[in-house]
Amino acid sequence: MTATILDGIVLGLQFGILAVGLTLVYGLGGVLNLAFGQMAVVAALVVSLAMGAGIPTIASIGLGLLAGGVFGLLLDTTLLRPVYRRRGEARVLLSLLLTLGVAFVVDGLLLWRFPTEGLSLHIGGDAVEILGVRMRTGSLLASGIALAAFVALFLFFRGTTLGKAVRSIIQDEEGARLVGIDPNRMRTLILILSGALAGLVAVTRSMTSPVTVTQGVSFTIFALIVTVVGGLGSVAGAFLAGIILGIVNTVSSFYIGTFLTYIILLGAAALTILLRPSGLLGVPE
Amino acid sequence: MLEVRAFSAGYKGNDVVREVSFHVELGEAVMIIGSNGAGKTTLFRAMCGLLESSAGEVIFEGEAVAGMPAQRLVRRGIGFVPAERHLFPRMTVQEHLTLGAYPKRPDPETISIVFDLFPRLAERRRQHAATMSGGEQQMLAMGRALMSKPSLLVLDEPTTGLAPKLAHEAYEALGVLRRQGLTLLVAEQQVPLAMAFCDRGYVLENGVIELEGTSEELASDPRVRQAYLGVT
């Protein structure tokens, strides 16, 4: 049981970072990015291809994160421009349709050009014993990176003026404009960050299990579920919900079966919407 | 300093304000008075770049700025305090003032001017805006706008929702700012307060300027006396 829960935490930390990438873009721009998982997969592919070309692992990972960021930048400066000109529901709907289209196109291209490509990073070293459970170094490294990313995000949003500027748009866009903050520039910045975070999760996931080019949709779904449970626009909520759902995921896979895990996770999201529509740490509208 | 010429604006093709013209000179305090729904808020929001205008010109310090978005106008020196305040509910007083100076670092001198003006804000430095009273929120909205060191401060109904005593205090604070050389443009429903404070004014009714003059001229106009000063 302890082993299952620890595995759940490892998985949950990745879920959490994934959700942050999705929820920030939603909170800032009212855009729900259904091509989010494809950002992760493209980043994984770039890392894999770069390593295949003989580039050192760390540099390859850097290229992967860069690719995720560029994906976000391209999305922001092309397809999302007309989306930002609309308000409210029209904006959310248009963003759903356009990014779903992007997801299909990217999935199709990947399956056509790189059907067997995938990324699995083997982290050497001996297993470490924690709470009587032998943890693989890959799991520990992945968790360490995810935790460091959370700390960095927290410091960015609480401690820097740029981070505060991003939060101010989430809280009151007109107020932000009145102090001289340009929402469009902040959205561009956050889409780049979102892509890089997706790439980071692809990399840390590949330290424990292979990431293949067909996993885009499942990345998006996990991010969506964690976002709903944690509360839209909340980094701390994503962290908490990520860990809870990570544990739910591994425990139910282990004791009930993998085939039911998705249903149980979606059930958790549905229950959250019923009982606490703004999520665990979200702010009621 | 500010000249607005034949300015029209509104929502979805229906102009709420039509061909409005007025001007504000350096160091003046000017009021736009009018009843609820006269178009004061639409006029200010469009002029300050939160709403698109449909026609006309806005010249600020010699530069045509009509259609320029709010985030650029504030850097040119127009500070706007909207009636709905638009504070950041889950941010502290300190964070509001820091962001008020965006993208520059907050100037300690400006912070001390704001805290001298509103000692309550200094006491509540770490409090979130959502937990503050209406009067304190109004002070915070003004304080935040001052952090960008505007040369013109535009206020839309600064006394909305305030008890009479607090409304007086708001105007006392504006008086201090004026003596420090700030130019002011105020929209107000509480006409006697604004009239005692401003040099000149315009009466906006149904989206057009009906009257203009010095505060004394307006105060002695029978229509103004009847409609806004409660004198029959």
Residues of chain A with pLDDT under 70: 284-285
- Position B227 scores a pLDDT of 86
Q: Which residue in A158, A174, A177, A178 has the most chain B C-beta atoms within 10 A of its own C-beta, making it the best mutation to test that interface? A: A178
Task: Compute the nearest-CA separation of A57 from chain B (Å).
Answer: 38
Inform me whether the C-beta atom of residue A248 falls under 8 Å from chain B C-beta atoms. Answer: no
Do residues A119 and A206 touch, judged by C-beta distance below 8 A?
yes
Q: Which residue of chain A comes nearest to B73, CA vs CA?
A: A180
Q: How many residues does chain A have?
A: 285
**Whole-angstrom Cα distance, residue A132 to residue A4?**
12
Burial of A135 (0-12, 13-18, 19+ CB in 10 A): middle
- Beta strands A118-119 and B14-24, pairing class: unpaired
Residue position matching structure tokens 């993998």 = A258
- Position A285 scores a pLDDT of 53
- Position A126 scores a pLDDT of 79
Q: pLDDT tens-digit profile of B5-61?
A: 999 998 777 899 999 999 999 999 999 999 888 999 999 999 999 998 999 999 999
What pTM was computed for the model? 0.90
- Position B210 scores a pLDDT of 93
Q: Which residue of chain A comes nearest to B80, CA vs CA?
A: A178
pLDDT tens digits for chain B (232 residues)? Answer: 999 999 999 877 789 999 999 999 999 999 999 988 899 999 999 999 999 899 999 999 999 999 999 999 999 999 999 999 999 999 999 999 999 999 899 999 999 999 999 999 999 999 999 999 999 999 999 999 999 999 999 999 999 888 999 999 999 999 999 999 999 999 998 899 999 999 999 999 999 999 999 999 999 999 889 888 877 6
Task: Compute the nearest-CA separation of A278 from chain B (Å).
Answer: 16
- Position B35 scores a pLDDT of 87
- Position B208 scores a pLDDT of 95
Do residues B173 and B149 touch, judged by C-beta distance below 8 A?
no
- Position A284 scores a pLDDT of 63
Q: Which residue of chain A comes nearest to B78, CA vs CA?
A: A178
Return the H-helix or E-strand segment holding B209: strand B208-214
Inform me whether the C-beta atom of residue B143 falls under 8 Å from chain A C-beta atoms. Answer: no
Q: Is ipTM > 0.95 here?
A: no
Do residues A206 and A219 touch, judged by C-beta distance below 8 A?
no
Inform me whether the C-beta atom of residue B27 falls under 8 Å from chain A C-beta atoms. Answer: no
Nearest by CB: B99 against A168, A174, A182? A168
Task: Compute the nearest-CA separation of A173 from chain B (Å).
Answer: 8
Return the H-helix or E-strand segment holding B58: strand B53-60
- Position B228 scores a pLDDT of 85
Q: Which residue of chain B comes nearest to A171, CA vs CA?
A: B88
Task: Compute the nearest-CA separation of B46 from chain A (Å).
Answer: 13
Residue spans of beta strands (DSSP E) within A160-222: 211-212
Task: Compute the nearest-CA separation of B201 from chain A (Å).
Answer: 25
Tokens at residue B142, please?
């003004």
Contact B102 A283 (CB under 8 A): no
- Position B232 scores a pLDDT of 60
Inform me whether the C-beta atom of residue B92 falls under 8 Å from chain A C-beta atoms. Answer: no
- Position A87 scores a pLDDT of 82
